[in-house]
Structure 1
Amino acid sequence: MLKTETPSAEHAQLDQYPTTELINTLVDDQTNAVKAVRAAAPRLAAAVTAALPRMEAGGRLIYVGAGTSGRLGLLDSVELYPTFSWPHERALALLAGGQQAMFVAVEGAEDDLEQGAADLIATNPTANDVVLLLAASGATPYVLGALRAARAAGALTVGFANNTDSPVAGEAEIGVTLDTGAEIISGSTRLKAGTSQKIALNTFSSALMVRLNKVYGNLMVDLKPTNAKLVLRAVRLTMFATGADESAARAALEQCDFHVKVAIVALSKKTSIDQARALLEAARGSVRQALAA
């Protein structure tokens, strides 16, 4: 039996716990998700290293999953645009059962190996794409179908699973096993198995964006200010990075469509917006290198 499906030997009387003890037990078990991701850190680092040149060459991130895993992949893909200005068309998410499965479970969709392959092929994968394949069991047919189609197309495949020796991790070019063991509520992989996948995806995509010069120091300088909160964040980030007052920071941002990187370089080097853009382009988007030029 898969570890994620094996009834836990602990907390066999969970349904009889007082509510406070029940809450504490569920929370405490989540710490095992962090430990599982920490153990997989070398594999995540290998995935970032392999993905970087493909992204620099114009490749896409394509997330594939079913159920909770698929929804977590879709969430990571969606958040890349406002956080890092990563283009929508370069972060795709394939969910067994289609987009409606984000809100309503589509029973049986995850068992369709051929549909997984067909959905992946429909994205016209290339060798520069990175396909992230998510399955707590590590054997979801829909995900395996997509994995095999991605490999046939020459794309980089990164398989995430919560069981050791799984097909998804074993058949992918880079396998990331998040060994979270049995769940407190037997088989409910929306618990710590899901948490570990969320952490792993956050870690992978954030590290990749750092390597793509989307971060200066630890500042989120390539955000897309799509609402009032993010506009204020852009102003604060510019002020913090340059020492400029709010008026000067806002004025520079208004001249460059609130592109924080450009405003930082323009203010720090006391140059024009056009010159700041040119410096950043020559530095491949690196604020640090543009400031040193």
Structure 2
Amino acid sequence: MFELEPPSSVLDDYFSLGIFLILTLLVYAIISGTAYAFTHVTEAFPNGERRAKRVSHFISEPILFTGTIMQFSLLFKLLIIFISLRLLNSIWGAALLSIVLIYSVNEAVAMMLKGKEESFFMKMSYLSIFFSAIAAPFNRVLIALTSMPEQEREEREVQSLEEITEESPGDNQKEARERKLLKSIVDLSNTSVSDIMKPRVEVVALSTSMSANEVMEVAVNCGYSRLPVYEGNLDNVKGFLYIKDLVGYLQEKKSDYDWKSHVRQAYFVPGNKKIGDLLEEFRQKKIHLALVADEYGGTDGIVTLEDVLEEIVGEISDETDKTQ
């Protein structure tokens, strides 16, 4: 003889499943929002925020981060389907409910974040790091399984290029120069930003507490055309000051001249970025220098277009030999 489950117990189960479904949808909405914001975020972060520098690693490796987000997105989609199936006890009903819920969440997230993608992604920086840390072991295994043939092919291509660039005893002076230039170009894919940057201890920078007179004095003494501007310490860079923007000060000669209004947006890159990729970014964004962020969101150094070009053609000198 069958015993009927008390109605109160059934209601309790439905209530618990409903609460669990709501919580799952909330977490899925955050993941969906992070994925949506990531597709709209740019590499040029505003105001040198430390959170921005902290996620520069994700920007430099978009495929890896996208894979991480997709894993968690799939996990919570499966949870939504499972809970829907428990609630409705019908495969078709659960499928329909899951599709409606997932579609509705995605659309709502897209509408709510429109125009706020970058700020939302910055707020989710710690969560993004948490997701990446959890998924890292799985990602490493996946990359190892899927990228072996490509890695071997790349190694063969690099080996072939290295053979081409090897100097031969019969080379004349012109051929030797051409081989040296070609070798420098090949090395762009093997050299990291951290290998050519000016280290933090050598960076000349301006504090926001400086007066216009002090700023001009530093600019004249150092001879650089662009200087990073920080507040407090060099880990909190607010942007860059182009010395040519101080023409107004030279005309007005006022000690209270508002030089900080001319500070331009800073551009950050991770130290492990290859200089070949950096050169392409410099070209696309029409910029000549960037700050190098360390793994903790601090400032590790500064790298300029001249630093990259010198890796190709050798030492470049100008009147002052200072082009920070």
TM range (shorter): under 0.3
TM-score by length of 2: 0.18
TM-score by length of 1: 0.20
Over alpha carbons, which structure has the higher Rg? 2
